[in-house]
Amino acid sequence: MEHYYNELVGYLTSRLRDRQRAADVAHDAYVRVLESGNLAVLDNPRAFLYRTAINLSIDLYRREKRLPLEPLEIVDTVDRSSLNEPEHPVSQLYQEQKTQLMQRALNELSDNCREAFLLRKLEKLSHAQIAERMQISTSMVQKHIVNAMKHCRIRVQELEAAQS
């Protein structure tokens, strides 16, 4: 699957007219495809990856058209306490177990792999920004992130299988 990445980014760049946004959409498409767990049964994984990326591009376009940008001060005044409803105890326990498992899975990764993944997921940095910060190539960043996603997906699936 990884060998389609540069081709997909090129395709999305021609559609989105922005290489950075294209790389972000391609990354999100990879995440969706890898998390779907359907790779083994797909006849054409490349087509599935492209369709996912195109759908994400359309979603991005619609979201940008629909949502006007607001100053951060307005967003920060929202009362978030009313948004948090209490979770069912079983669901909460499952989420805690999943979080612990993710932490263990992340600790099993190499330092560079973990750092690239966390910079992407937590700090929302682009591949180029991560590459610059870590002083590695963007292709190495891509490989680290994909490897981390695969590893974490496998660990989460192990938890879900144990729960069944």
Confidence of residue 82 (pLDDT cuts 50, 70, 90): very low
pLDDT digits (tens, 9 = 90+) for 107-119: 888 999 999 999 9
Whether 96 and 157 map to the same domain: the answer is yes
**19, 49, 66 - which closes a domain:** 66
Does residue 17 sit within a domain?
A: yes
Percent of the chain with pLDDT over 90: 10
Does residue 30 sit within a domain?
A: yes
The residue type of 68 is P
Q: Is the pTM of this model over 0.85?
A: no
Does residue 120 sit within a domain?
A: yes
Structural domain of 56: 1-66
Whether 101 and 61 map to the same domain: the answer is no
Number of domains in the chain: 2
pLDDT digits (tens, 9 = 90+) for 98-154: 778 788 888 888 999 999 999 988 888 898 899 999 999 888 898 898 888 888 887
**66, 81, 114 - which closes a domain:** 66
CA distance 34 to 43: 15
Does residue 131 sit within a domain?
A: yes
CA distance 55 to 34: 16
Judged by average pLDDT, the poorest of 49-58, 77-86, 92-101, 143-152 is 77-86
Whether 58 and 105 map to the same domain: the answer is no
User: What was the pLDDT predicted at 86?
Assistant: 56
| CA separation, residue 116 to residues 30, 39, 120, 122, 126 (Å) | 15, 24, 6, 10, 10
Residue range 52-65: average pLDDT?
82
User: What was the pLDDT predicted at 133?
Assistant: 94
Whether 159 and 96 map to the same domain: the answer is yes
Whether 62 and 98 map to the same domain: the answer is no
